Amino acid sequence: MENKIINLGIFGFGCVGQGLYEVLNRTKGINARIKKICIKDPNKARPIDSSYFTTDKNEILEDPTIDVVVELINETDAAFEIVSTALRNGKAVVSASKRMIAENMASLYQLQSENRVPFLYEASSCASIPIIRNLEEYYDNDLLNAVEGICNGSTNYILTKIFEENLSFETALQQAQDLGFAETDPTLDIEGFDPKFKIVILLLHAFGTFVKPEEVFNFGIHHLNDFDIEFAKSRNCTIKLIGHCRRNNGNVHAFVLPHLVKEHNLLYDVYNEYNGILLESAFTDKQFFVGKGAGGTATGSAVLSDISALLYNYRYEYKKIKQNNQPAFSNDVKLKVYLRYKSPDQVDLTEFFNISEKYESSTYRYVVGTINLQKLKDAQWLKNKDVNLLVLE
Ligand SMILES: NC(=O)c1ccc[n+]([C@@H]2O[C@H](COP(=O)([O-])OP(=O)(O)OC[C@H]3O[C@@H](n4cnc5c(N)ncnc54)[C@H](OP(=O)(O)O)[C@@H]3O)[C@@H](O)[C@H]2O)c1
């Protein structure tokens, strides 16, 4: 595609679509122009000329003059349909839809190989942080031990407002939604599903292992209450929702869980909608990436970087899949946790390997102890709103 103007067909003109439009307009020297934008609601007022818009997806997918399809919609099944049709039609595709990508990773990998077309999705994981391309290109050997971090802008915004400004959970969530950081369905953020989709994508690029989202345990900040917040503050800690994957004796485990984070931890100072990713490798120890993890122009700039990369024929090579020494996915790992509950019948403490601390009061009780990740994933008692979980460092 070098030295030619590429025609873009965009799906979606919401937060990210409009962010891309702004970034594209303000970036000089990129040979790309928007030919058509497909949206869902023909009656919605749009901030740009109506001639751009269509509700007919085939005006993009079947247009031979459109080189690149940019998929930025908020409907998972429709997004997969659009992306797979575009790839089958031989078009390069850029997408930001982490859920769609995480749920269909193996099929999307196959579609790229079969149709020999690039599919780039940097914006899907940590928005503005260029983490996928770094995992692909710089960390292209097997010395990476762990990838972990804050990969959900809206929960980090909420936790920052709770800890730094003493806002209530509800007020902080409303602010995150008003600013466009929260997903259309906020349960995806606050229950930890959105960061899990990103961890599933990062795990593939870090270790070459395909994992289905349902294999990975996620527990968000939806059960957090004032008692937990006081517990964290009493230990000079903050709380962060952390996605984690680590290689361990030929296996790799992953989870998304709220953590107690001490001040010395680099993730402690990642505030508001910012994301932070820590990589750990055999010879370099820790390396830290930080940047905006949500928002229209921040995400749009990652989408633009993918479009620009297509101009020099960049594609993911998935080198770690091809290296054939991928670790197997396993949830068999011990975690040290704080477990808060109201009455003893709400939890099953026999699941713990050991309990090092026990507290009881007229309102809440908690234990600190060690438990297997798979036991937590299977625990029905964690669905009770009176029960909360925090991982200790
Ligand atoms: N917001 C962020 O900060 C962020 C960051 C990283 C990744 N993402 C991902 O980027 C994607 C878009 O997010 P967003 O925040 O921009 O969503 P959004 O503001 O809710 O906008 C969604 C857009 O998709 C359009 N749409 C929905 N279904 C469609 C369909 N079947 N065909 C054509 N258009 C359709 C909507 O059309 P109408 O305008 O007609 O309703 C709307 O323009 C999501 O997958 C999200 O997870 C978002």
Range name among 103-117, 239-253, 312-326 with the lowest pLDDT average: 312-326
Q: Does domain 6-133+296-323 have CATH number 3.40.50.720?
A: yes
Output the furthest CA–CA distance in the chain (Å, rounded): 71
CA of 123 relative to ligand 1 center, distance in Å: 13
What mean pLDDT comes out for the span 53-67? 97
Pairing of strands 53-54, 32-38: parallel
Would you kindly state where each structural domain of the chain is located, as residue ranges? Answer: 6-133+296-323, 135-293+327-331, 332-393
Tell whether ligand 1 has an atom less than 6 A from the beta carbon of residue 299: yes
Q: Which of 198, 240, 292, 320 is catalytic?
A: 198
pLDDT of residue 113: 94
pLDDT of residue 294: 87
Give the tokens for residue 300. 């749009």
Question: pLDDT tens for residues 174-191?
Answer: 888 888 777 667 899 999
CATH of domain 332-393: 3.30.70
Cα separation, 208 vs 322, whole angstroms? 8
CA of 73 relative to ligand 1 center, distance in Å: 3
Q: Is the pLDDT of residue 77 over 90?
A: yes
The average confidence (pLDDT) of the chain is 94
Topology of domain 135-293+327-331, CATH: Dihydrodipicolinate Reductase; domain 2 (3.30.360)
- The partner residues of 110 in beta bridges, in order of sequence, read none
Q: Is the pLDDT of residue 315 over 90?
A: yes
DSSP 194-206: HHHHHHHHHHHHH
Pairing of strands 334-341, 388-391: antiparallel
Cα separation, 217 vs 196, whole angstroms? 8
Q: Is the pLDDT of residue 103 over 80?
A: yes
Active site residue 198: yes
Question: Residue 342 carries which side chain, given as an amino acid letter?
Answer: K
Cα separation, 62 vs 90, whole angstroms? 10
Q: Do domains 135-293+327-331 and 332-393 have the same CATH topology?
A: no
Tell whether ligand 1 has an atom less than 6 A from the beta carbon of residue 70: no
pTM over 0.75: yes
Find out whether 121 and 103 touch, Cβ atoms under 8 Å: no
CA of 14 relative to ligand 1 center, distance in Å: 5
Closest C-alpha residue for ligand 1 atom 25 = 12
Helix (H) or strand (E) holding 359: strand 354-360
Find out whether 96 and 74 touch, Cβ atoms under 8 Å: no
